[in-house]
Structure 1
């Protein structure tokens, strides 16, 4: 059986792969992370194997029967049973909220611990990578990376800027996402100007500051177990997307086209993914006007539909075929 772990909200890619599995008559079962927490009971060690039963008694999961696993995602940050809890500035409520998050994390860890197979697409222990470790691993794999520092010192930032006059700042982990009065807000990579530098206090929260690499275009590469599927994004033609293409211009979208990676770059990507123990993921790269490639980051659970559909790669079918092949092996 092919076992799929995903999330309920906005996961069109999971549905598209499942459509192919259904078309190819492949037996599969999907569970979303929030369901694993709210709608299942864990009978620990009964018959030397934990049974995972739905609270409505409609399904039972035996980990030993999960032969092939696709770890797509677990659940989105907003998909939580505590989303209606008004935290405000109440320290006691904040403590309760953090405690309940840890309780949920314990269930997640135990659920995934029971699903053991060497035929897994994705890595449950790598769904949130350390961006700094990945940058170092990319350099070890032979890839060029932007000159970077993590600092909380204005003095050190000014010294860095003497050798790197054009800098950007980005989050150390995944971008922050907030909802307020019906609107969603996301943190983006941003440039730093003189006025912002001057306004900085002597010390601030540790921040990732990098050289702003000039772009001819950006590349989004989906890596699937040794194969690279690349798309060029002409984000530089639009001021809104020039620094970060995720600041999508819905009215005038960027031009996206299929892209053939140099063999040497594909090999380096393969080495990087081996170093960080991932067999799939979405990779961001910049190509400079001079033809040099700079690695930016890897998203182990990034959307691949944005590459599949514009480029006619049919990645959803390729993922389904990978799962079927492993399940039949």
Structure 2
């Protein structure tokens, strides 16, 4: 039987890889780890079509693996692809080489004809916050009043109308200045900031009516398993608008919770629409106990919540889905 599970990650990833690997091996499967930051300088990848059949081979510094007969793949992270290449190549070839490297690697991952927990194409689709909000609204989840725009006047009107508004970027990123990293978090925009909105012409932003928070939820869904955790972020000054600002201090303050049955049903429906088996969902519960959907992350981090479960149950769920020991949504290339 095919009993190999391919994990796509990078050398700096955290210990959640080890936990999932442990459970995969307990299920009687073997793990092949593909660290993409070692590709292409240390990891060699070949796909060959001859005599009517396809063969894919991954050669790492330690060993060779056949990848055309794997049982499933977990596409977790693709960070730092091509590490070290800049120093090896003439600058004029670097951009073109990186384009080929990314295209070849992602093309291979997209083409694997086996069950895949996550895919480059799935991650790209989930990059659309606008689609997420439209689907959530259509399913019947509550969403905040929202304005996505690069028109300063539309943003001003929205802010004047809703008074309390938060502004956020649609991509998570940091700005580097003099070697210092500044992460861009969600911020409150008051009417005193209306003059500063002219810069939207250069870069669109997402504005949402600020939802008062009774508590915040992080919901990790694996297959049909729903792990909901809550935190009262309002008791910590730095975390009031965006809990990630004080994430390190809050790491062990999260508490496992139950979702209302209708909210849980709608969240599983959201994963059905996207046909994915993993999602990390952020929600806000208002003082009136309304549940507001904020976003779903295709590969959101889970290790700190996994540690708050008995025996790292999120890792176990991931391993069980990969090993076909738990219900999963069929997504094979030629399913």
Q: What's the TM-score once normalised by structure 1's chain length?
A: 0.85
Task: Assess if the C-alpha contact under 8 Å between 1:223 and 1:280 holds in 2.
Answer: yes
Query: Is 2:18 aligned against 1:15?
Result: yes
1:43 Cα offset (Å): 4.4
Query: Is 2:77 aligned against 1:112?
Result: no
1:96 Cα offset (Å): 6.0
1:57 Cα offset (Å): 7.7
How many angstroms apart in 1 are the aligned matches of 2:84 and 2:176? Answer: 15
Do the aligned partners of residues 96 and 17 (structure 1) sit closer, same or farther apart at CA in structure 2, a change above 3 Å counting? same
Query: Bigger CA drift: 280-289 or 12-21?
Result: 12-21
Task: Assess if the C-alpha contact under 8 Å between 1:137 and 1:276 holds in 2.
Answer: no
1:207 Cα offset (Å): 1.1
Alignment counterpart, residue 201 of structure 1, candidates 198, 203, 216: 198
Equivalent in the alignment of 2:117: 121
1:9 Cα offset (Å): 1.6
Equivalent in the alignment of 2:155: 157
For 1:246-261, list aligned pairs within 5 A. 246-248=244-246, 250=248, 255-261=253-259
Alignment counterpart, residue 70 of structure 2, candidates 52, 66, 71: 66
Q: Deviations over 1:271-314 (max 9, x none)?
A: 11111221111000000010001000111111112222224362
Structure 2 stretches lacking a partner, 5+ long: 329-335
How many angstroms apart in 2 are the aligned matches of 1:151 and 1:280? Answer: 29
Do the aligned partners of residues 228 and 104 (structure 1) sit closer, same or farther apart at CA in structure 2, a change above 3 Å counting? same
Task: Assess if the C-alpha contact under 8 Å between 1:132 and 1:172 holds in 2.
Answer: no
How many angstroms apart in 2 are the aligned matches of 1:257 and 1:15? Answer: 24
Structure 1 stretches lacking a partner, 5+ long: 86-91
How many angstroms apart in 2 are the aligned matches of 1:55 and 1:221? Answer: 36
Task: Assess if the C-alpha contact under 8 Å between 1:37 and 1:108 holds in 2.
Answer: no
Query: Bigger CA drift: 37-46 or 265-274?
Result: 37-46
Do the aligned partners of residues 205 and 96 (structure 1) sit closer, same or farther apart at CA in structure 2, a change above 3 Å counting? farther
Equivalent in the alignment of 1:88: none
The Cα RMSD (Å) is 2.8
Secondary structure, aligned partner of 1:45: strand
How many angstroms apart in 2 are the aligned matches of 1:45 and 1:298? Answer: 38
1:251 Cα offset (Å): 5.0
For 1:107-256, list aligned pairs within 5 A. 107-117=104-114, 119-128=115-124, 129=126, 130-173=128-171, 175-178=172-175, 183-201=180-198, 203-248=201-246, 250=248, 255-256=253-254
Task: Assess if the C-alpha contact under 8 Å between 2:223 and 2:277 holds in 1.
Answer: yes
How many angstroms apart in 1 are the aligned matches of 2:322 and 2:111? Answer: 19
How many angstroms apart in 2 are the aligned matches of 1:122 and 1:53? Answer: 20
Could you list the structure 1 runs, at least 4 aligned residues long, displaced by more than 6 angstroms after superposition: none
Do the aligned partners of residues 155 and 165 (structure 1) sit closer, same or farther apart at CA in structure 2, a change above 3 Å counting? same
